[in-house]
Structure 1
Amino acid sequence: MKNLLQQYKPFLLFLGKFFLSYLILTILYQSYLNQFDVKNAEVDGFTKSVAEQTEWVLSLIDNHSYTTKHLTEPSIKLFYKNKYISRVIEGCNGLSVMILFVAFVIAFSGKFKNTLLFLLFGIVIIHVLNVSRIALLSMALYFYPQFEHFLHGVLFPLIIYGVVFVLWVIWVNNYSSYASVSKKI
């Protein structure tokens, strides 16, 4: 048994770090969300910020783009060309994707400075990509509402998770402690 544990130690350490960091970050995020009254349609600050940033991006293209608070749901209504296109809810803010990204990088952590810098870089990339995703999705839904399921449920998640996967590959191959070991071999 001891031999098996020793043999799979790197994998078990990865799993332990990943699940522990994911659990801690998820609990912290849930604590943050619990501060807001969903029954009274209260939206968390980060989701509001994402909606406002999306509004700003859309307003660069069309000055008839704006957001308003949804009166009966915890969401922000997004208008493009004066037409109600979509709503930005907590699940749209990208934080759950960021948590997953952070947990993976921590699980394959490298030097502290490299890890911290890559985490900051990745979170910024994910955030910018997410705001762009919502803006592009809103424009696409304006012109092609019949493709809502494909655009919202397939194409845009594929893009954002694809970029996260590429970031993970870059991290593991270039900056993690695993990369430094494999370069020596």
Structure 2
Amino acid sequence: MKKYFTLYRPFLLFLTKFFLTYIILTLVYQKFLESFDNNKVDFVTQLVADNTKQLMNLFDADVAIEKDKSESYIRLFYNQQYVARIIEGCNAISVIILFASFVVSFSGRLKYTLSFIVLGSLSVYVLNVVRIAVLSALLYFFPSQNSIIHGVVFPLFIYGVVFVLWIIWIRKFSLYAKNTAET
């Protein structure tokens, strides 16, 4: 048994770091969400909605957002037409948690690890706002394509960006990059 533990130590260490980080960050985020009433929108989701509106306004779009009084979501109107519902799952925090967990599991020097997590998380956040803005415009012009646009294209976009960031992390900054550069 000790032989297998030694042989698979790097993989087991990766899994342990990944799941511990993921569980801890998810529990912290769940605690954060529990601090809001059932029909109240958390401030991160509100910020995403506000930033989406600001971004669309930069392009002279006729955009309005409205908090639903009885539910925990924000309605987004494009050209006075209700096109999107921004919910907690739209704020990309779960994607950022997944991103950070992976970076920690392949951690390098602490300074680089923390810097990459912060810069990568900001990148994911900004690209998520762009994603919601473009998605809203596309849903206005192509409402019959909702399932493809929302269910396929844009998840591929956001997870594709996270995947590229992971590759950059592994190849340029992680301990793995240093170990393979020396051999």
Q: TM-score range by the shorter chain?
A: over 0.9
Segment drifting more, 66-75 vs 123-132: 66-75
Please show how residues 5-24 of structure 1 align to structure 2 within 5 Å: 5-24=5-24
In 1, Cα distance between equivalents of 2:145 and 2:55: 22
Shift of 1:90: 0.2
Q: Is 1:92 matched with 2:90? A: yes
Give secondary structure in 1 for the equivalent of 2:51: helix
Answer yes or no: is the 8 Å Cα contact 1:173–1:179 preserved in 2. Answer: yes
Give the structure 1 partner of residue 62 of structure 2: 64
Give secondary structure in 2 for the equivalent of 1:72: coil
Answer yes or no: is the 8 Å Cα contact 1:62–1:81 preserved in 2. Answer: no
Give the structure 2 partner of residue 138 of structure 1: 136
Please show how residues 1-185 of structure 1 align to structure 2 within 5 Å: 1-38=1-38, 41-185=39-183
Show structure 1 runs of 5+ residues with no match: none
Show structure 2 runs of 5+ residues with no match: none
The root-mean-square deviation of aligned C-alpha atoms, in Å, is: 0.8
In 1, Cα distance between equivalents of 2:53 and 2:21: 33
Question: What fraction of aligned residue pairs are identical, expressed as a percent?
Answer: 50
Counterpart of 2:24, as a letter, is: I
Task: Count residues in correspondence.
Answer: 183
Shift of 1:22: 0.2
Cα distance per residue 1:127-151 (max 9 Å; x no partner):
0000000000000000000100000
Give secondary structure in 2 for the equivalent of 1:85: strand
Shift of 1:156: 0.3
TM-score of the aligned structures, taking structure 2 as reference length: 0.98
Answer yes or no: is the 8 Å Cα contact 1:76–1:88 preserved in 2. Answer: yes
Segment drifting more, 75-84 vs 98-107: 75-84
TM-score of the aligned structures, taking structure 1 as reference length: 0.97
In 2, Cα distance between equivalents of 1:3 and 1:63: 63
In 2, Cα distance between equivalents of 1:107 and 1:63: 42
Q: Kindly report structure 1 stretches of 4+ aligned residues shifted beyond 4 Å.
A: none
Cα distance per residue 1:32-57 (max 9 Å; x no partner):
0001111xx21101000000000111
Shift of 1:71: 1.8
In 2, Cα distance between equivalents of 1:61 and 1:69: 23
Segment drifting more, 60-69 vs 111-120: 60-69
